[in-house]
């Protein structure tokens, strides 16, 4: 079943076409890889699907709903979470608070939801809400074996943990679909190995994962389906085995063979 798809998605910046007429599908419950050389438009495609950027043309559908051009916080609330290529943690907040922010929109619901009184109401229910946020935040920290670090400021964490914390924060929003933008960037082989296990565990929780990655070992090992972009265009889509032998992909990565 298709969970998310884009139809003819195009994003132009002035004369530069970053993403051109891309049809991208994500199947529910699987891990989908998005690969391509630098500047191929992978992150732009991500941004257009998660509401941080607006496509020039084309549509994005999630669960059959048109989410094109919706603000990012709405899209997040519908069940799409993401991480960033250059880590975007709340640096001066603690590890625990970072994850609690992910729970933010899950709390604060009241009979007055969305009205002015809601602000007053949530004001007096604070401690109960904090408890809910706390326990579910801690659950996700334990998932990453980071419970011990919960009082540490995010900026003081080692790099690998920062990457994991970003994933934990995204998972705290209870997403159906998780976008990971180069999760293994800057990791050593052991950490990448560990990340692969983690992504597998996330899939086992029933969360669909889409990831941009340059680490071919990781992509080829865990992805069920791979889409390849080059110069903003989709040049291939298929299983890892098919992608490995696709002449267009080989050309994009290694160049054309001289006759």
Judged by CB under 8 A, does residue 231 bind other proteins?
no
Judged by CB under 8 A, does residue 198 bind other proteins?
no
| Of 116, 123, 142, nearest in space to 198 by CA | 142
- Which CB sits closer to other proteins, 12 or 130? 130
Binds other proteins by CB under 8 A, chosen from 11, 42, 70, 82: 82
- Which CB sits closer to other proteins, 107 or 230? 107
Binds other proteins by CB under 8 A, chosen from 12, 21, 28, 84: 84
Cα first-last separation, the chain: 43
- Site map for other proteins, 13-52, x if CB under 8 A? -------------------------------------xxx
Number of residues written out for the chain: 259
- Evaluated on CA atoms 3, 227, 73, 138, the torsion sign reads positive
Q: b or e along 156-175 (b: 16 or more beta carbons within 10 Å of the residue's beta carbon)? A: ebeebbbbbbbbbbbbbbeb
For the record, the structure tokens of 196 come out as: 């692969």
SS3 141: helix
Binds other proteins by CB under 8 A, chosen from 17, 90, 231, 233: 90
Judged by CB under 8 A, does residue 92 bind other proteins?
yes
Sheet with strand 233-238: strands edge to edge: 80-82, 177-181, 208-212, 31-35, 225-230, 233-238
Which segment (16-24, 86-94, 219-227, 249-257) binds other proteins by CB under 8 A? 86-94
Tokens 């132009």, located at residue: 12
- Site map for other proteins, 58-77, x if CB under 8 A? -------------xxx--xx
> Is-contact 163 154, C-beta < 8 A?
no
SS3 111: coil
User: Cα–Cα distance between 66 and 225 in angstroms, integer?
Assistant: 23
Judged by CB under 8 A, does residue 149 bind other proteins?
yes
- Site map for other proteins, 106-145, x if CB under 8 A? -xx----------x--xx--xx-xxx-xx-----------
Binding site for other proteins (CB under 8 A): 50-52, 71-73, 76-77, 81-82, 84, 88-94, 96-97, 100-102, 104-105, 107-108, 119, 122-123, 126-127, 129-131, 133-134, 148-152, 156-161, 169-170, 173
């Amino acid at each position: 079943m298709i969970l998310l798809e884009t139809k003819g998605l195009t994003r132009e910046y002035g004369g530069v076409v970053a993403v051109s007429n891309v049809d991208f599908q994500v199947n529910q419950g699987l891990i989908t890889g998005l690969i391509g050389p630098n500047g191929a438009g992978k992150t732009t495609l991500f941004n257009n699907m998660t509401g941080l950027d607006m496509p020039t043309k084309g549509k994005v559908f999630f669960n059959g709903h048109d989410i094109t051009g919706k603000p990012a916080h709405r899209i997040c609330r519908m069940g799409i979470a993401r991480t960033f290529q250059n880590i975007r943690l709340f640096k001066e907040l603690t590890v625990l608070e970072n994850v609690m922010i992910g729970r933010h929109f899950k709390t604060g619901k009241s009979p007055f939801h969305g009205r002015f009184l809601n602000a007053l109401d949530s004001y007096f229910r604070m401690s109960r809400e904090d408890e809910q946020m706390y326990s579910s935040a801690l659950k996700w920290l334990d998932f990453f074996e980071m419970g011990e670090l919960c009082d540490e400021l995010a900026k003081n964490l080692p790099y690998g943990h920062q990457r994991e914390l970003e994933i934990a924060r995204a998972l705290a929003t209870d997403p159906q679909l998780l976008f990971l933008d180069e999760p293994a960037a800057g990791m050593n082989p052991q950490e990448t190995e560990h990340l692969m296990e983690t992504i597998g565990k996330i899939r086992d929780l029933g969360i669909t994962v889409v990831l941009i990655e340059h680490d071919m070992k990781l992509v080829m090992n865990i992805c069920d389906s791979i889409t390849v972009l080059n110069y903003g265009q989709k040049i291939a889509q298929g299983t890892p085995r098919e992608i490995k032998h696709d002449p267009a992909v080989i050309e994009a990565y290694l160049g054309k063979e001289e006759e």
